[in-house]
Amino acid sequence: MNSKVPFSERDRTDKPASLYAATKKAGEEIAHTYNHIHELTITGLRFFTVYGPWGRPDMAYLFFTKDILKGKSIPIFKGPNHGTVARDFTYIDDIVKGCLGSLDTAEKNTGSGGKKKGPT
């Protein structure tokens, strides 16, 4: 298991530590195999904490917003070494733009400097 923080795309990923991680790894391997056998260009997208008008009512950002509007403090979660844990929230419109942008690229991971030609 890789516990290095921050991690790198070059880190080993062949020993997932959870069922969730194993399903993500399996999906990547299936995509790689389809690419190899059928010469398909495949782009994988992973969404993390998407929010918007039709979001689930149990999402943390709703609780945080309600507490802030009431003048209450919001909880700050601590990591294993008592460090502050950061979490990203992505608005649904940004997800749509990213999906559309991914249709126009066959480059490497856009998070690693790939070229993205989609909407801005």
Give me the catalytic one of 20, 51, 61, 91.
20
Query: Is 20 assigned a catalytic role?
Result: yes
d(C-alpha 79, C-alpha 74), whole Å: 16
SS3 78: strand
Q: How far apart, in whole angstroms, are the C-alpha atoms of residue 37 and residue 49?
A: 33
What is the C-alpha to C-alpha distance for residues 111 and 105, in angstroms, rounded to an integer? 13
Catalytic positions: 20
